[in-house]
């Protein structure tokens, strides 16, 4: 017996234990698939072991499903007709409105199972089908108690999972599938938003070893490096994300972030190379000081030229970038989300510094910030607010969520609210709870990211 087959069989035993011990009605597993149908299915022998044991599994009251063998062909044909699949894909299940897909080239995708969103975006999800099922069972064990009800203190006032609960769930997932790229990405994102940048960077290094072409992983690493005061590393990460991004709107967004990082690099004294040029100068003749000043001026000019080239590339990828940013800032101002408005205004001006529409929004943003500051003084002291000293860029990821779905279209079509998009996208969003079997869904609102 091969090592891989032994591993799968061991995981199937663990799945059986968890299904047996779970609250009644939370999960529902079918019996073994027909042997002849399984032999004709085209599934790899080790992969087929799951269906040889369970011909379809409903998890978490139907919030995730592994399809019975008989549904694979129809689901795959329907998704292909919608343009959501690549050649060789096989739809094997769903999570919410998104598809769980076995891919033809796991090495290129970074995972055996990919999550395909409604708009066709592909996110590397699980290292194998059996580990995916085991990890999902682990997630649901964090969410539900022995009676099948939600555990206490999972949700914040906004109805979404608290950061602490989200991390418990993601870590449990990774305990059972350590090579699951999407869960590790979301854990890194949660750590970064909490200001735990070292931990976030560590998670992203592991992620990118497994899925080196995962655009969102490189983009998130750039944000971590930017928050960690390493703009040179941030520029490199954002450039890599832009190279990998197939969608023009996302490519433009990555290039805009690189512009923003370059601005920080040119403004940071002695930071032109993040190395020897950033070391303090030794005392010496005045000529040495003049030489150092000349080198810094040249480095700043070089960074400015590189920034201009990146801005031009961003506008080439999405000519409506500035208009889309202006619309996003206006939307954030209407929602009174100062952090999102500030981030998107800053990002837009990094690419088009003289854009009149963006510049005209500065007074409204300043007024919103002043009102927010007054409100905070009235309601809570900064000592009681765990986010009080955090960079606003670490508190809200609306910019990525907009960029993921941005298109170089006329302004009327680009004026989308930042909260739109698939809830399982790396930068989230909300979507209606999905019912199962006529019951009210137990699904919680997803956290943003």
Q: From the centroid of its chain, how far is CA 407?
A: 19
Q: Pick left, alpha or beta for residue 341 (phi over 0 → left; psi -120 to 50 → alpha; otherwise beta).
A: alpha
Mean pLDDT of 301-313: 87
- When pLDDT is cut at 50, 70 and 90, the band that residue 420 belongs to is very low
In the block, tokens 């499903």 appear at 65
- When pLDDT is cut at 50, 70 and 90, the band that residue 330 belongs to is very high
3-state secondary structure of 42: coil
- Which pLDDT tens digit goes with each residue over 157-180? 888 889 999 999 999 999 999 999
- Which pLDDT tens digit goes with each residue over 367-419? 999 988 887 666 655 455 544 454 444 444 554 554 455 444 433 333 333 33
In the block, tokens 């001026």 appear at 297
How far is residue 412's CA from residue 404's CA, in Å, rounded to a whole number? Answer: 18
> Is the predicted pLDDT of residue 429 greater than 60, yes or no?
no
- Which pLDDT tens digit goes with each residue over 16-39? 999 999 999 999 999 999 999 999
**Whole-model pTM over 0.75:** yes
pLDDT for the residue 414 = 35
- The count of other CB atoms within 10 Å of the CB of residue 399 is 24
- Which pLDDT tens digit goes with each residue over 40-73? 999 999 999 999 999 999 999 889 999 999 999 9
- Which pLDDT tens digit goes with each residue over 332-359? 999 999 999 999 999 999 999 999 999 9
289 and 281 Cβ atoms separated by less than 8 Å: yes
Residue boundaries of the structural domains of the chain = 3-153, 245-272+304-379+396-433
- The share of the chain scoring above pLDDT 90, in percent, equals 67
- When pLDDT is cut at 50, 70 and 90, the band that residue 265 belongs to is low
Pick the CATH number of 3-153 from 3.40.50.10150, 2.60.120.10, 3.40.50.2020, 3.40.1580.10: 3.40.1580.10
In the block, tokens 């409506």 appear at 320
- When pLDDT is cut at 50, 70 and 90, the band that residue 274 belongs to is very low
Return the closest-CA partner of residue 253 out of 429, 446, 430, 426. Answer: 426
- Which pLDDT tens digit goes with each residue over 89-106? 999 999 999 999 999 999
Return the closest-CA partner of residue 189 out of 230, 227, 220, 149. Answer: 220
């Amino acid at each position: 017996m091969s090592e891989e087959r032994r591993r799968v069989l061991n995981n199937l035993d663990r799945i059986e234990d968890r299904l047996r011990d779970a609250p009644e009605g939370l999960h529902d597993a079918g019996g073994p698939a027909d042997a002849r149908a399984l032999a004709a299915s085209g599934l790899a022998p080790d992969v087929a072991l799951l269906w040889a044991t369970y011909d379809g599994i409903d998890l978490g009251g139907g919030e995730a499903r592994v399809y019975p063998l008989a549904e694979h062909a129809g689901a795959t044909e329907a998704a292909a007709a919608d343009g959501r699949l690549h050649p060789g894909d096989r739809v094997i299940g769903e999570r919410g409105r998104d598809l769980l897909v076995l891919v033809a080239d796991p090495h290129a995708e970074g995972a055996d199972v990919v999550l395909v969103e409604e708009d066709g975006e592909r996110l590397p999800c699980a290292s194998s089908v059996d580990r995916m099922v085991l990890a999902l069972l682990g997630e649901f064990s964090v969410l539900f108690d022995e009676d099948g009800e939600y555990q206490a203190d999972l949700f914040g006032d906004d109805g979404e999972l608290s950061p602490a609960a989200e991390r418990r769930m993601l870590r449990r997932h990774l305990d059972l599938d350590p090579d699951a790229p999407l869960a590790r990405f979301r854990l890194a994102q949660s750590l970064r938003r909490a200001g735990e940048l070292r931990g976030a960077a560590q998670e992203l290094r592991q992620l990118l070893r497994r899925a080196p072409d995962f655009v969102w992983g490189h983009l998130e690493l750039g944000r971590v490096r930017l928050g960690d005061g390493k703009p040179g590393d941030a520029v490199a990460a954002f450039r890599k994300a832009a190279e990998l991004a197939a969608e023009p709107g996302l490519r433009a967004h990555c290039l805009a972030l690189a512009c923003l990082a370059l601005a920080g690099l040119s403004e940071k004294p002695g930071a032109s190379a993040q190395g020897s040029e950033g070391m303090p100068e030794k005392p010496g003749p005045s000529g040495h000081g003049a030489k150092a000043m000349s080198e810094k001026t040249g480095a700043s000019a070089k960074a400015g030229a590189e920034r201009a080239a990146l801005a031009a590339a961003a506008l080439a990828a999405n000519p409506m970038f500035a208009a889309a940013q202006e619309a996003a800032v206006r939307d954030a101002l209407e929602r009174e989300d100062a952090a999102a408005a500030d981030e998107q205004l800053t990002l837009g001006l990094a690419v088009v510094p003289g854009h009149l529409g963006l510049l005209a929004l500065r007074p409204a943003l300043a007024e919103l910030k002043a009102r927010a500051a007054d409100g905070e003084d009235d309601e809570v002291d900064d000592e009681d607010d765990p986010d009080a000293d955090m960079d606003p860029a670490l508190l809200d990821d609306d910019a990525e969520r907009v960029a993921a779905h941005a298109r170089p279209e006329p302004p009327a079509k680009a004026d989308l609210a930042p909260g739109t998009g698939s809830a399982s996208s790396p930068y989230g969003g909300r979507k209606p709870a999905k019912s199962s079997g006529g019951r009210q869904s137990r699904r919680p609102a997803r956290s943003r990211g």
